[in-house]
Amino acid sequence: MPAALLFPIMRSNPALIIPESSGISECMDRLAAQKRGVRPLSSYRFQFNAEFTFVQAKRLVGYLHALGVSHLYSSPILKARQGSQHGYDITDHNQLNPELGSYEEFTELVNELRNYGMGQVLDIVPNHMGIGFGANPWWKDVLANGRASEFAEFFDLDWYPLKPELRDKLLIPILATNMAPNSRRVTSSCCLIVTASMLLTMTRFCPSTRKQSPSFLIP
C-alpha cells in the first residue's frame, strides 16, 4: 500500500478553516522556510539563575563559537519563584526573571549570538507553573475566586470530583515534612480544602511547617 495512504498529510483543507487559522498557518510556514538555514547543528545548555546571568553568558559566546556550537540552549528565563536554581517554577510568563538580568542585558546576549552567527533554543515551559510561596498571581486569583477566576482555565482543576462535598472546591495536598531518606514513605502530611473568599494559612493545619513556609498564604 502506498505510504501516502498509510500516513496522509495531516493538514486541514484551507477552504475549510477560518481566515485566522489560515493566516497563522501561512505565518508558521514562512517562519519555517526562513529558518531552514539556521537549524541547530550542535548546542550547549546554559542553566540560568541568580549565580549565572545574561552578562556572564554573553562572555562565553565567543568561546562556544570556537568550539563549533551553533546554538545556545537556554534554560527558562521567564519570571520564576525567587531564588529558583532551575527556572522551571515559573510564576509569570509575561516577564523576564529579574534575577537573571534586565531586558537590555538579554538583548545584548542575543546580539552577541547574532554577531557570531549563532542562534538560541529557548525553553519557555508552556505546560506548567510554580504555585508555592504565594508568588504566582494567577494561582492566587484562582484560590480567591474559584471557578469565577479569569485564570481558572489555565490550570488542570477537577471541579467535579467523585465526592459531592468537594465539588467547586480545591483539595490541596501538602507535605508537612520531607520524605524520609531512601524511603517512599511520607513522614507527615496534611490537606487544605479551599473555597472561594477564604483566608487561611497553612500553619493552622500544619504547625510543623511554621518555620519552613511562613509565606505560604491562601488569599
Domain with CATH 3.30.750.90 in the chain: 40-122
- State the first-to-last Cα distance of the chain, in angstroms, to the nearest integer: 61
> What pLDDT is stored for residue 128 in this prediction?
81
Mean predicted confidence (pLDDT) in 28-42 = 71
Q: What percent of the chain has pLDDT over 90?
A: 37
Residue 69 and residue 42 in contact, taking contact as beta carbons nearer than 8 Å: yes
Average pLDDT (98-120) is 96
pTM: 0.63
For residue 54, give the H/E element and its range: helix 54-66
> How many whole angstroms separate alpha carbon 205 and alpha carbon 203?
5
The fold adopted by the segment(s) 40-122 is Transcription Regulator spoIIAA (3.30.750)
Helices 54-66 and 103-115: crossing angle in degrees, nearest 10, is 10
Q: Is the dihedral of CA 48, 52, 58, 61 positive or negative?
A: negative
Q: What residue type is assigned to position 45 of the chain?
A: R
